[in-house]
Chains A and B, each alone.
Chain A
């Protein structure tokens, strides 16, 4: 049976990609998180509203980087994920 990603998992995937690059553009995030452009835009807007990421204008391009809150969220997610796996549960 196909297992769908939870919203939290998608958020964590987006944040992980941005964290690994330091700063990432929408195309890199879209491919990395395996999302359609439409869904990615919705997620990025929501994450910015929540203060987990911030957008940076670089000429005619936009890049995203994690805020302090985003870094804390990602670290907590990874700890909770490791704890969940220790009990045989996939997040």
Chain B
């Protein structure tokens, strides 16, 4: 019943991290799920905080960039919160129903996450002056076969774009945002690699938690601006 809860595993037919852990000890599965839920919930709170600030910036400046940023972080936080709150419910379902419910939840979470990254890219593409950058962003949607891999490619695009911005501005807050997205990227790569080693799945969550800490540090610095 617990085995398919490794929702971020790319190949749903292969052995998932939780299935492997479950074979070793049920207690380890509970600890694994507990840590999974807590980290995801913490990340969702930070995403909502960033969304709140982006909304304030949108109301203040009226720029479309911040509207897309707000919607993106709102979607990201919602996906994380949905996942964190659905795990305790899904583990209580009977096995045949659980498999279907977990697959459906997995598609929702991955879909909304991909949507959030697409919104971030749309925000930057909207501000881009060159056609090349827009074409590259559009190409991303055409060449990538799976949602998880699409997330990785979109995050690579965001990290590359923010790196170029940082090279020209050398702003510490921007460096924190760049590290935040870089950690989200590392998290997705680790989720993909977790099919080979279950520990990488939790490491992926840890990477995302560190990424959220970076966003939180940026928000604290912004809130203290006078």
Contact = CB atoms under 8 A, between A and B. Distances in A.
A79 B56 CA distance: 10
Nearest to B180: A86
Given A75-B226, A82-B173, A88 B165 contact: yes
A43 interface: no
B69 interface: yes
A88 B169 contact: yes
A89 B165 CA distance: 9
Interface string B186-221: 000000000000000000000000000000001001
Interface string B3-21: 0000000000000000000
Q: Is the interface of A mostly helix, strand, loop or mixed?
A: helix
Interface string A48-91: 00000000000000000000000000011111111111111101
A88 B226 contact: no
A16 to B, nearest CB: 12
Contacts of A75: 225-226
B169 A85 contact: yes
B177 A86 contact: yes
B211 to A, nearest CB: 14
B25 interface: no
Size band of the interface chain A makes with B: 10 to 19
Contacts, number: 56
A82 B225 CA distance: 7
B117 interface: no
A88 B223 contact: no
Given A86-B171, A88-B166, A80 B177 contact: no
B87 interface: no
Contact of B221 (A76, A77, A82, A88): A82
Interface of B: 53-54, 56-57, 60-61, 63, 65-66, 69, 127, 161-162, 165-166, 169, 171, 173-174, 176-177, 218, 221-223, 225-226
Given A88-B165, A89-B127, 14 more contacts: A8-B61, A75-B225, A80-B57, A82-B225, A83-B54, A83-B56, A83-B173, A84-B57, A85-B169, A86-B177, A86-B222, A88-B174, A88-B177, A89-B63
30 contacts: A8-B61, A77-B60, A78-B226, A79-B223, A80-B56, A80-B60, A80-B61, A82-B173, A82-B222, A82-B225, A83-B54, A83-B222, A84-B61, A84-B66, A85-B171, A85-B174, A86-B173, A86-B174, A86-B177, A86-B218, A86-B222, A87-B65, A87-B69, A87-B177, A88-B162, A88-B166, A88-B171, A88-B174, A88-B177, A89-B63
